[in-house]
């Protein structure tokens, strides 16, 4: 089972669920997912459609859990088990790891070949996901109802894309599934929602009729502020009960310049020094750039988009031609580099060994190492003897709250790579910082068993490790641990 | 009668095993979440909620951040049950 952008587009068109996590690459990049993810309910529909194989049926009840984010272009293995009484469990897996599942009870029906005709209910979907303050939203929805209508005009076009034919399932049941996705993603908790699971129990009576509008009613939102978790239950059209669970993701991480300067202090340690920081748009790179500037450095910020008026270069680090162009630009504008901080690194995938195949692991290792090796190859000639090259590696560890295994592997490769280069370049000093798991857009989850640490003290550690010749006894290769 | 940590452990294991779909899961006092397959942050939420429901208790935020292993969680449950009488 592979989810394609066409599936996502068809689902969005039919459900009106246009949460930016599903289409806005720039927005999605600043989430722990690192990029756009598919709607969980798209996986449910695709899996149900594949299981049904064109059979018409109605659901008695359905439960679904969206365990892991689903990405376009990944081949998920779909497996199912059937038990007596029309009980089925569908699972989509990557390697041996379950990424999501739905369990349901069904009965066969005659279906309606042509599909139902629906009249307009006057429902006007949101164009953008709600960003209502949680307290206001809780008050607004408690005891209330939520009328909804799918884009009935899109049924004939969208359903076949998702592997269904119109009339294969009672239309209100389909609408309930779509409403769940729309409500969580667009209304409540809205833009920062992470839809986690749903439970729908359908009324024994079949279709309430084509003209009746769909609604969730008797809404009872339960908010758990310990885990930023919302459980929303009630009844609905054709539903004896429902429960939706969602997490509220925090806003993107922002470290304030005042906070950074207060921690790093202000000095002239880097006066007249030109320092390039890769990946200085956000996270540790942005903190470090600010901290270095406070020590008098001329900081050249490398990022995806160079802001006007700031000393910055922009380009793809894994591309030799782009790095060469940036090197020419640096030479022309600043003449040289005194220090190079190799901070940028690809977002760590959420999979483990066995979940992704060896080819995917090797591709990630390659991408990670390229982010360091390619710029180093082009920027090292800009550095007069006595410069500093700093690489950001990672502390190891396993399991919950630890650095993800692919990142540990790639950062280990980075560390060894720089040690190798240090042997070849005794005229420069090479420092590797083994950073702890820091709070960045990648680790900024709704709930974390062991929360990541602030990037500010880690940046201070890096500052302390950047010593010019004569300031430290360390040789040209050293490893620093970024936390006590 | 209040339960001891030793009495709570097997019950606790059962609840966690149900969430993680590992029927034979047997947790020890020293076991940490890191050592249990599939116990990630999202599953942790489910586990905490299931444990709270099963034992009819509630952990506060500070407690949730402090538990270093399964045993400490069970100690806390035992204390809560004793207090509730």
Domains defined along chain B, listed by start: 5-84 (1.10.1200.10)
Mutate which: B42, B48, B57, B72, vs A, most A CBs within 10 A: B42
Contacts of A396 in chain B (CB under 8 A): none
B70 touches chain A (CB under 8 A): no
Question: Three-class SS of residue A312?
Answer: strand
Contacts of B49 in chain A (CB under 8 A): 224, 229
Q: How many CB atoms lie within 10 A of CB B71?
A: 20
Say what the pLDDT of residue A450 is. Answer: 74
**Which residues in A have their CB inside 8 Å of a CB on B?**
67, 97, 196, 224-227, 229, 247, 398-402, 445, 447-451
Element spanning A243, H or E? strand A239-248
CB contact at 8 A, A309 and A478: no
CB contact at 8 A, A14 and A155: yes
Contacts of A64 in chain B (CB under 8 A): none
How far, in Å, CA of A163 to CA of B71, rounded?
48
CB contact under 8 A, A451 and B65: yes
B62 touches chain A (CB under 8 A): no
Say what the pLDDT of residue B23 is. Answer: 87
Closest-CA distance, A236 to chain B, in angstroms, reads 25
Q: Which residues of chain A have pLDDT under 70?
A: 113-121, 205-212, 305-309, 396-402, 483-484
How far, in Å, CA of A255 to CA of A258, rounded?
9
Residue where the block lists tokens 């116990």: B39
CB contact at 8 A, A318 and A371: yes
Say what the pLDDT of residue A309 is. Answer: 62
Say what the pLDDT of residue A209 is. Answer: 58
Among A40-49, A452-461, B6-15, B57-66, name the one with the lowest average pLDDT. Answer: B57-66
| Cα angle A20, A26, A32; round to 5 | 80
B38 touches chain A (CB under 8 A): yes
Say what the pLDDT of residue A390 is. Answer: 96
Say what the pLDDT of residue A41 is. Answer: 98
Say what the pLDDT of residue A205 is. Answer: 66
B33 touches chain A (CB under 8 A): yes
Closest CA to A145 of A177, A183, A175, A118: A183
Residue where the block lists tokens 């769940």: A180
* Chain B, nearest residue to A400 by Cα: B34
Closest-CA distance, B68 to chain A, in angstroms, reads 10
Say what the pLDDT of residue B64 is. Answer: 86
B30 touches chain A (CB under 8 A): no
Contacts of B35 in chain A (CB under 8 A): 399
Q: Report the pLDDT averaged over residues B49-76.
A: 91
* Chain A, nearest residue to B45 by Cα: A227
Say what the pLDDT of residue A119 is. Answer: 60
How far, in Å, CA of A183 to CA of A163, rounded?
23
Parallel, antiparallel or unpaired: strands A57-65 and A193-202: antiparallel
CB contact under 8 A, A225 and B61: yes
Q: How many CB atoms lie within 10 A of CB A85?
A: 10
CB contact at 8 A, A183 and A190: no
CB contact under 8 A, A449 and B35: no
B77 touches chain A (CB under 8 A): no
Computed over every residue of chain B, the mean pLDDT equals 89
B19 touches chain A (CB under 8 A): no
Say what the pLDDT of residue A114 is. Answer: 56
CB contact under 8 A, B39 and A400: yes
The full set of domains in chain A, from first to last, is 5-248 (3.10.129.10), 257-481 (3.40.50.720)
Residue A479 has φ and ψ, to the nearest 5°, of -120, 130
Q: Report the pLDDT averaged over residues B51-59.
A: 95
CB contact at 8 A, A189 and A245: no
* Chain B, nearest residue to A450 by Cα: B65
CB contact at 8 A, A192 and A21: no
Say what the pLDDT of residue A427 is. Answer: 94
Contacts of B40 in chain A (CB under 8 A): 400
Residue A60 has φ and ψ, to the nearest 5°, of -90, -40
Closest-CA distance, B6 to chain A, in angstroms, reads 24
Say what the pLDDT of residue A197 is. Answer: 95
Element spanning A45, H or E? helix A40-52
Closest-CA distance, B26 to chain A, in angstroms, reads 18
* ipTM above threshold 0.95: no
Say what the pLDDT of residue B35 is. Answer: 83
């Amino acid at each position: 089972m592979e989810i394609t952008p066409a599936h996502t587009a068809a689902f969005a068109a039919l459900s009106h669920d246009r949460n930016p996590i599903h289409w806005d690459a720039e927005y999605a990049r600043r989430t722990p997912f690192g990029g756009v993810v598919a709607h969980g309910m798209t996986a449910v529909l695709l899996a149900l459609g594949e299981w049904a194989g064109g059979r018409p049926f109605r659901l008695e009840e359905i439960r679904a859990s969206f365990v892991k984010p689903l990405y376009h272009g990944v081949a998920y293995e779909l497996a199912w088990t059937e038990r007596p009484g029309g009980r089925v469990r569908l699972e989509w897996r990557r390697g041996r790891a379950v990424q999501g599942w739905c369990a349901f009870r069904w009965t066969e029906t005659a279906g309606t070949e042509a599909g139902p005709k629906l009249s307009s209910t006057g429902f006007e979907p949101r164009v953008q996901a709600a960003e209502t303050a949680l307290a206001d939203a809780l008050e607004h929805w408690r005891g209330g109802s939520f009328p909804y209508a799918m884009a009935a005009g899109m049924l004939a076009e969208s359903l076949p894309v998702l592997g269904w034919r119109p009339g294969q399932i009672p239309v209100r049941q389909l609408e309930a599934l779509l409403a769940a996705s729309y409500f969580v993603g667009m209304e409540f908790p809205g833009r920062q929602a992470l839809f986690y699971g749903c439970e729908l129990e359908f009324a024994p009576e079949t279709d309430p009729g084509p003209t009746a509008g769909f609604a969730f009613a008797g809404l009872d939102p339960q908010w758990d502020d310990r885990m930023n978790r919302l459980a929303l239950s009630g009844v609905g059209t054709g539903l004896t009960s429902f429960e939706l669970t969602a997490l509220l993701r925090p806003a993107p991480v922002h470290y304030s310049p005042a906070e950074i300067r207060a921690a790093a202090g202000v000095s002239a340690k880097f006066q007249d020094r030109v320092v390039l920081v890769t990946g200085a748009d956000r996270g540790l790179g942005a903190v470090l750039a600010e901290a270095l500037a406070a020590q008098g450095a001329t900081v050249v910020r490398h990022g995806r988009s160079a802001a006007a008026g700031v000393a910055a270069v922009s380009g793809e680090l894994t591309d030799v031609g782009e790095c060469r162009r940036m090197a020419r630009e640096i030479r022309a504008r600043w003449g040289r580099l005194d220090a190079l901080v190799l901070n940028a690194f690809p977002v760590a995938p959420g999979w483990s060994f066995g979940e992704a195949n060896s080819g995917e692991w090797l591709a990630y290792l390659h991408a990670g190492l390229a982010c360091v090796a390619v710029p180093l190859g082009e920027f090292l000639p800009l550095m007069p003897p006595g410069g500093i090259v700093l690489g950001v590696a990672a502390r190891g560890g396993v399991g919950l709250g630890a650095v993800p295994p692919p990142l540990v592997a790639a950062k280990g490769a980075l560390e060894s790579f720089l040690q190798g280069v240090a042997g070849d370049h005794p005229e420069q000093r090479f420092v590797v910082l083994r950073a702890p798991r820091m709070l960045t857009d990648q680790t900024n989850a709704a709930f974390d068993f062991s929360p990541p640490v602030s990037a500010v003290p880690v940046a201070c550690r890096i500052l302390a490790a950047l010593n010019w010749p004569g300031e430290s006894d360390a040789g040209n290769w050293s490893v620093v641990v970024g936390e006590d | 009668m209040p339960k001891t940590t030793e009495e709570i452990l097997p019950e606790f294991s059962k609840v966690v095993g149900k969430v993680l779909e590992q029927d034979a899961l047997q947790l020890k006092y020293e076991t940490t979440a890191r050592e249990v397959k599939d116990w990630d942050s999202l599953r942790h939420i489910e586990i905490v909620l299931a444990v709270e429901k099963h034992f009819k208790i509630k952990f506060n935020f500070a407690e949730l951040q402090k538990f270093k292993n399964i045993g400490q969680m069970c100690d806390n449950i035992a204390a809560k049950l004793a207090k509730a009488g």
